[in-house]
C-alpha cells in the first residue's frame, strides 16, 4: 500500500506575484536583470530504453530522517547518484569525489530532498532529537560549494524554498533564529564566504513558483511490474524463486511529487530561479492528484522496462503479467508539524 506522506512544507510565492506585491529581488539577480532560465531536468522528448539511463547525470540528496529503507538501492538502479547523510560537509565531499572520478557519470543536476526549516536554512538531520546529527547550509553557500564540482542546476524540493532566498539569510543563516524547526546544528552551519559574489556564480538554484506544500510518497517495489522488478534486480525470476525457501522482504522507497512532476513534465509544475518570498502557505495537491502522479511514475518506470526487455529479446514483449503486483487501495495521508516524529514519518520539510 502506498503511504502518501504530506509534508508540512511551505514553499514560495512566484516571482511574478512577489514583484506584484512589491517584494524585492535578492542579490542573486541584479535589479532589472533577467531571471535565469531553468533548464529541463529531462528533455520533453526523452525516451529511455534502459532503466539505468533515467538518472544518468543527476544526483539526489535525501535527509536521512525521511528516507526509506530501500532508497539508495532504488535510485542507484535507475542510474541516479544518491547521497544521504546528516552532514552537508560529507554530502558536498561525496559529490565532489563523484564528479572527479573518471569512472562515474558526472552530476550536472542535483535534486535536493531536504528540510527547509520554515525557510530558515536547508537542513539535513538523522532525526528530530536536539542532539541528533544535523547540519544547515545557506543557498549562496550551496552555490559556492557546488560550482567547482561541475553541478550546474539544483532543484529544491524543500519547505519554504522561496523564503530561503531572503536577503537576510541568502548568504549567512541566522543561528539564533527563534523557530521550533531550527534545532541545534550539531554538525555545523555552512555559510557563503565573505568575498563570495553570487552574481558571478553559474549554478542555477530553482524552486517551485507558487507557495505549496510538498508531498513525498512511500512506494513499494512490488507496485512495479514484474518485468521492471527483475530488470532492476528487485525480484527473483520465477524459475529461481521456486527454489528459495522464503521471499526476501519487499523494498520500500520514497519519491516526491516534485521529482515525479519533473520526470513526467507535469504542466502544473513551474520553476523559478530568482526572487524570494516572505509568506508561508498550506496549499497542496489533493490526495487524488498526488495518487495520480504516483501512478504515472509507476507507469513511466514500467514503460522503460518494456523497451529494455524488447531490446534484449529481439523485440518480443515481456510475458503477460499484471502491471501492479500489489494493490494500493486506501492510501493514507499524514500531516504533521515536524518531520521525523516516529511512525507517521510525516513532517515539516
Closest CA to 139 of 147, 129, 149: 147
Distance, in Å, from the CA atom of 8 to the CA atom of 284, rounded to the nearest integer, reads 9
- Note the pLDDT of residue 236: 57
Cα–Cα distance list, 60 to 7, 83, 86, 179, 256 (Å):
18, 6, 14, 27, 11
- Note the pLDDT of residue 237: 55
The verdict on residue 224 lying in a domain is yes
Look up cell 553570487; give the residue: 198
The verdict on residue 262 lying in a domain is yes
Closest CA to 151 of 222, 88, 201: 201
Look up cell 511512525; give the residue: 343
Backbone angles phi, psi at 6, to 5 degrees: -85, 120
Most distant CA pair in the chain: distance in Å? 68
CA 249 to chain centre: 25
C-alpha cell at 13: 510565492
pTM of the model: 0.83
The verdict on residue 330 lying in a domain is yes
- Note the pLDDT of residue 331: 44
**pLDDT, tens digit only, all 349 positions of the chain:** 445 444 433 333 333 333 333 333 334 443 334 678 999 999 999 999 999 999 999 999 999 998 999 999 999 999 999 999 999 999 999 999 999 987 888 999 999 999 999 889 999 999 999 999 999 999 999 999 999 999 999 999 988 788 999 999 999 999 999 999 999 999 999 999 999 999 999 999 999 987 677 788 899 999 999 999 999 998 755 555 555 544 556 899 999 999 999 999 999 999 999 999 888 767 777 888 889 999 999 999 999 999 999 999 988 888 865 444 444 544 433 323 233 322 223 345 6
Total of domains in the chain: 1
Helix axes 257-264, 287-312, angle to 10 degrees: 50
The verdict on residue 349 lying in a domain is no
The verdict on residue 46 lying in a domain is yes
Closest CA to 259 of 62, 87, 100: 62
Determine the structural domain holding residue 7 and report its residue range: 3-344
The verdict on residue 101 lying in a domain is yes
The verdict on residue 250 lying in a domain is yes
Amino acid at each position: 500500500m502506498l503511504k502518501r506522506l504530506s509534508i508540512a512544507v511551505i514553499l514560495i510565492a512566484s516571482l511574478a506575484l512577489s514583484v506584484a506585491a512589491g517584494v524585492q529581488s535578492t542579490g542573486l539577480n541584479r535589479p532589472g536583470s533577467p531571471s535565469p532560465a531553468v533548464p529541463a531536468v529531462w528533455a520533453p522528448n526523452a525516451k529511455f530504453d534502459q532503466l539505468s539511463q533515467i538518472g544518468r547525470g543527476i544526483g539526489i540528496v535525501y535527509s536521512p530522517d525521511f528516507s526509506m529503507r530501500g532508497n539508495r538501492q532504488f535510485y542507484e538502479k535507475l542510474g541516479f547518484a544518491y547521497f544521504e547523510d546528516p552532514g552537508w560537509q560529507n554530502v558536498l565531499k561525496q559529490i565532489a569525489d563523484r564528479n572527479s572520478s573518471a569512472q562515474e557519470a558526472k552530476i550536472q543536476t542535483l535534486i535536493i530532498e531536504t528540510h527547509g526549516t520554515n525557510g530558515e536554512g536547508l537542513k539535513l538531520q538523522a532525526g528530530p532529537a536536539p542532539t541528533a546529527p544535523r547540519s544547515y547550509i545557506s543557498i549562496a553557500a550551496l552555490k559556492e560549494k557546488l560550482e567547482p564540482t561541475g553541478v550546474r542546476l539544483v532543484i529544491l524540493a524543500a519547505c519554504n524554498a522561496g523564503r530561503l532566498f531572503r536577503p537576510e539569510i541568502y548568504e549567512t543563516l541566522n543561528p539564533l533564529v527563534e523557530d521550533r524547526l531550527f534545532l541545534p546544528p550539531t554538525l555545523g552551519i555552512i555559510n557563503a564566504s565573505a568575498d563570495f559574489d553570487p552574481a558571478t556564480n553559474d549554478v542555477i538554484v530553482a524552486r517551485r513558483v507558487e507557495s505549496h506544500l510538498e508531498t513525498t510518497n512511500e512506494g513499494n517495489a512490488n507496485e512495479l511490474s514484474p518485468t521492471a522488478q527483475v530488470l532492476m534486480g528487485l525480484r527473483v525470476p520465477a524459475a529461481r524463486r521456486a527454489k528459495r525457501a522464503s521471499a526476501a522482504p519487499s523494498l520500500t522507497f520514497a519519491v516526491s511529487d516534485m521529482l515525479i512532476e519533473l520526470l513526467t513534465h507535469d504542466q502544473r509544475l513551474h520553476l523559478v530561479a530568482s526572487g524570494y518570498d516572505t509568506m508561508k502557505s498550506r496549499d497542496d495537491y489533493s490526495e487524488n492528484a498526488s495518487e495520480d502522479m504516483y501512478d504515472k511514475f509507476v507507469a513511466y518506470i514500467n514503460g522503460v522496462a518494456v523497451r529494455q526487455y524488447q531490446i534484449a529479446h529481439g523485440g518480443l514483449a515481456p510475458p503477460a503479467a499484471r502491471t501492479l503486483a500489489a494493490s494500493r487501495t486506501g492510501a493514507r495521508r499524514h500531516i504533521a508539524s515536524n518531520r521525523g516524529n516516529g511512525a507517521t514519518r510525516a513532517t515539516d520539510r
